[in-house]
Amino acid sequence: MNKDIMTKAVRLGEYSPKSISTPKTVPIYMSSSYAFETVDDLEDVYSGKEEGYVYSRVGNPGQDTLKAVMAGIEDGEDVEVYSSGMAAIAMSIMANVSAGDHIVASNVLYGGSYSLLKEELKRFDVEVSFIDIENDDIAASIKDNTKILYMETISNPLMEVVDIREICNMCHEKGVKVIIDNTFATPSICQPLKHGADIVVYSATKYLCGHSDVMAGIVIGDKETVAKIRYTGSLLGPTMSPFDSWVLTRSLRTLDLRVKKHSENALELAKYFENHEKVEKVYYPGLESSKYHELSKELFNTDHFGGMLSVDLVGGEQAVCDIIEHLESIKFVPSLAGVATSVSFPVRTSHRALTDEELKESNISKGLLRISTGLENISDIIGEFDRALAKL
Ligand SMILES: Cc1ncc(COP(=O)(O)O)c(C=O)c1O
């Protein structure tokens, strides 16, 4: 070995420490690429004869650990992970459509998904029909060239729940794949694959990560479907970093515990809002008064209904602006699902791209406050809303 400092600095250091013991947690493999002894070894990995990693855009040990945990808790055949929820959604859609195809989508969706479907796909000559998935005749909106139906299990921001079993059956009869964004529900509450969905997508930035510190996306489906999405993703390139896959794996260990507590708090908060004179309407499927309550109980695999709820304030848009200022420690955050309770203002954040007409069609009012219920003591959460509402 050359004694030059530079040469030693870049070449020394063993990949694998010699040790009879193994690390208790999976290490972070912060390596963009992998080295091979021979060209034949590389060929064997490419051909699938040997297991191994080549380049982190197409695979990394940390991602594989995360995929194994996620496949288990979702009960899905195969999983792919991405650098954001939008990447997971875009890859799932783009892998399944070509120019000239048609998509049917719910008109109540996360605003980014809505804009992707409405604006971006148009540039690639993919037509999208937005429908009221609860009341419209879905079958009538499906055409010969329809390839995908896209919806959310619990819709953002109105917490609507529709019968995904019926929708999936009908779509499958017509050869249409169903992609369901299960971000608000998480696998702790609902597993859409069991109800017939072909692809489940997540903004893992939200509950799956749960601590407001990582951007991530996940796709789950059968082997063939995920292989197709994986190929598209490997070329478009929204890879999840080794560090983020490590953090996300760690977060999944406590997902179920967190979601239960988020849900218990959300139910108590929803009941409190239901009886408040300054609240016009509460959107939460866990309330017995919700029109989605009975169906949710059938579709959900627990008696929990998630941590997200929305309310229409009596004072409309101005009341939302005011309550955001009156809240003491509950922050106004254009995201959700962290450990601390936060609020959002859909028409100014996630759904700001929708026109007044589109908001009306989607029944999203300007006085809608969306609440992501955290893990705090519930009396502290209610106390803070109580003081803020009293000032309106
Ligand atoms: C339901 C839902 N799906 C997808 C997304 C997009 O995910 P990301 O922000 O991780 O790209 C969001 C973001 O808020 C969301 O709320």
The reply to whether 181 belongs to the active site is yes
> What pLDDT shows up at residue 87?
98
> What pLDDT shows up at residue 2?
62
Give the least confident one: 3-12, 202-211, 279-288, 291-300: 3-12
Please determine, for residue 1, whether its predicted confidence score (pLDDT) is greater than 70.
no
**pLDDT tens digits, one per residue of 115-136:** 999 999 999 999 999 999 999 9
Q: Residues 63, 242: contact at Cβ < 8 Å? A: yes
Spell out the domain ranges in the chain. Answer: 39-252, 255-390
- Report strand pairing: 308-313 vs 199-203: unpaired
pLDDT, average across residues 3-28: 86
pLDDT, average across residues 360-371: 95
Please determine, for residue 168, whether its predicted confidence score (pLDDT) is greater than 70.
yes
Question: 249 CB under 6 A from ligand 1?
Answer: no
Q: Going by CA atoms, what residue is nearest to atom 10 of ligand 1?
A: 85
Percent of the chain with pLDDT over 90: 93
Looking at this protein, which amino acid is placed at residue 62?
G
> What pLDDT shows up at residue 13?
86
Residue 102 — very low, low, confident or very high, per pLDDT cuts 50/70/90? very high
The reply to whether 174 belongs to the active site is no
The reply to whether 283 belongs to the active site is no
* Distance (Å) from CA 99 to ligand 1 centroid: 25
Residue 62 — very low, low, confident or very high, per pLDDT cuts 50/70/90? very high
**pLDDT tens digits, one per residue of 30-49:** 999 999 999 999 999 999 99
Residue 176 CA to residue 185 CA, distance in Å, equals: 23
Q: Residues 103, 128: contact at Cβ < 8 Å? A: yes
- Domain 39-252 indexed as CATH 3.40.50.10070: no
Q: What are 344's strand-pairing partners?
A: 370
> Please, what sign has the CA dihedral across residues 285, 291, 293, 295?
negative
Q: Going by CA atoms, what residue is nearest to atom 9 of ligand 1?
A: 85
pLDDT, average across residues 280-307: 97
The enclosing H or E element of 324 equals helix 316-326
Please determine, for residue 199, whether its predicted confidence score (pLDDT) is greater than 70.
yes
> Please, what sign has the CA dihedral across residues 185, 187, 192, 195?
negative
> What pLDDT shows up at residue 7?
87
pLDDT, average across residues 207-221: 98
Write out the two tokens for 124. 């690639």
Residue 233 — very low, low, confident or very high, per pLDDT cuts 50/70/90? very high
Q: Which residues neighbour 330 within 8 Å (Cβ) at sequence distance 6 or greater?
A: 340, 341, 342, 343, 381, 384, 385
Question: 146 CB under 6 A from ligand 1?
Answer: no
Question: 205 CB under 6 A from ligand 1?
Answer: yes
Q: Catalytic residue among 82, 110, 114, 150, which? A: 110
Write out the two tokens for 213. 């510190």
pLDDT, average across residues 322-333: 98
> What pLDDT shows up at residue 97?
98
Percent of the chain with pLDDT over 70: 99
Residue 83 CA to residue 204 CA, distance in Å, equals: 9
Task: Report the candidate in 179, 159, 151, 149 with the shortest Cα–Cα distance to residue 296.
Answer: 159
Mean pLDDT for all residues in the chain: 96
The reply to whether 231 belongs to the active site is no
Residue 56 — very low, low, confident or very high, per pLDDT cuts 50/70/90? very high
Q: Going by CA atoms, what residue is nearest to atom 2 of ligand 1?
A: 110
Q: Which residues neighbour 250 within 8 Å (Cβ) at sequence distance 6 or greater?
A: 25
Question: 310 CB under 6 A from ligand 1?
Answer: no
Tell me which of 1.20.1050.10, 3.20.20.370, 3.90.1150.10, 3.40.50.1220 is the CATH number of domain 255-390.
3.90.1150.10
> What pLDDT shows up at residue 17?
76
Please determine, for residue 9, whether its predicted confidence score (pLDDT) is greater than 90.
no
